[in-house]
Amino acid sequence: MHVAMYYNNSDIRLEEMPTPKAGPGELVVKVVASGICGTDALEWYRVKKAPRVLGHEITGDITEVGEGVRRYKVGERVFVSHHVPCNTCHYCLAGHHTACETLHTTNYFPGGFAEYIWVPKINVDRGVFVLPDGVSYEEGTFVEPLACVIRGQRIARVEPGKSVLILGSGISGLLHLMLARAMGAGRVITTDTDEHRLGVARKFGADAAINAREDVASYLREANDDKLADVVIVCTGSLPAFVQALQCVDRGGTVQFFASTKPGVELPVQVDKFWRNEVTFTTSYANSPSDAREAIELIRAGRVPVKKLITHRLKLKDASQGFQLVAEAKKSIKVIIEPHK
């Protein structure tokens, strides 16, 4: 089979690998659609493990069912989670599934930018989801990123009526915007340095989309009865955005670092400015099986119209172009790879 082998963001090669086979308890899935995540193009994060086949937002058809698998059959359309938790450790039982060591060590093989993937027994047990009839393969590639956003907003306590500021209007920021709108948040404001992305944010319901270079805190006070944002979600790895988040959160509010900076970057926090204000700082990484199920239902019900976010559909041989589009972060929003086109 063909795979897109990642060496770095500028060097992705179409190579051949043996087509996987299903052993007992395992599956083989033909990849129909695979989304390029922003973290796929996060070179400092990925290049240290290169060469490898990336891709973790896949949908496809089951082509082989291993001995002992009873819940799935050949021909079913599925979304497959790449990481799954053990569900029994201290962290899982405390609700911190994404801190589970098992979640950080599980994966399907070789990766989503391939014609087929092998799904191990543990992923078959808790990471394979049959797509409802109303959810297309393309829409199904959003299950993983939307599930991450669902988890993030639950941790950040995004609730009806709360004002939300989203720093960064790429795919994660836009999914946060759409979910906050679907869940009844109050005023939702986004920022970015790219005017095209700000325009997209306005199109998808932002009450305001502001250039991040402006005085965002002053804008919030003027637009919100002298209050800052109840929840600030950082969806960009730019350090100025993390600093800006601290300037824009209201008393009793929450700052969520949904994105990460490069390694070694330190965020200066003037503790005395937050000491009496009961501000919560939190992070969010990945998702759990229950988050994935919720994402599928929101997509099926049309509550989060993810298909509108797709800007590019490319063949497997054009994966390098897709990575460049995502890395440049300009006029692309969601890039989908279709391995069998």
Measure the CA–CA gap between 185 and 149, rounded to whole angstroms: 14
Domain shared by 55 and 166, yes or no: no
pLDDT of residue 43: 93
Range of the domain at 111: 2-142+304-338
CATH number at residue 48: 3.90.180.10
Domain shared by 138 and 178, yes or no: no
Measure the CA–CA gap between 64 and 339, rounded to whole angstroms: 18
Domain shared by 250 and 219, yes or no: yes
Domain shared by 121 and 6, yes or no: yes
Domain shared by 81 and 10, yes or no: yes
For residue 291, tell me if it sits in a domain. Answer: no
Domain shared by 165 and 134, yes or no: no
Domain shared by 243 and 175, yes or no: yes
Domain shared by 13 and 109, yes or no: yes
pLDDT of residue 331: 86
Sequence-distant (6+) residues with CB within 8 A of 62 are 27, 28, 29, 30, 72, 73, 74, 75, 76, 78
For residue 296, tell me if it sits in a domain. Answer: no
Domain shared by 270 and 198, yes or no: yes
Domain shared by 121 and 207, yes or no: no
For residue 297, tell me if it sits in a domain. Answer: no
pLDDT of residue 32: 98
pLDDT of residue 329: 87
CA dihedral 237, 202, 181, 290 (to 10 degrees): -40
For residue 127, tell me if it sits in a domain. Answer: yes
Domain shared by 138 and 6, yes or no: yes
Kindly state the tokens that stand for 286. Answer: 């990945």
pLDDT of residue 224: 87
For residue 223, tell me if it sits in a domain. Answer: yes
For residue 40, tell me if it sits in a domain. Answer: yes
For residue 171, tell me if it sits in a domain. Answer: yes
| Closest by CA position to 174, among listed 201, 156, 141 | 201
For residue 295, tell me if it sits in a domain. Answer: no
CATH number at residue 268: 3.40.50.720
Helix and strand numbers, DSSP H then E, in the chain: 12, 16
pLDDT of residue 242: 98
Residue 264 amino acid letter: G
Contact 126, 114 (CB under 8 A): no
Kindly state the tokens that stand for 180. Answer: 């906050």
pLDDT of residue 177: 98
Can you give the pLDDT of all 341 residues of the chain as single tens digits? 999 999 999 999 999 999 999 999 999 999 999 999 999 999 999 999 999 999 999 999 999 999 999 999 999 999 999 999 999 999 999 999 999 999 999 999 999 999 999 999 999 999 999 999 999 999 999 999 999 999 999 999 999 999 999 999 999 999 999 999 999 999 999 999 999 999 999 999 999 999 999 999 999 999 888 999 999 999 999 999 999 999 999 999 999 999 999 999 999 999 998 999 999 999 999 999 999 999 999 999 999 999 999 999 999 999 999 999 999 988 899 999 999 99
Q: In the chain, how many domains are there?
A: 2
Domain shared by 151 and 277, yes or no: yes
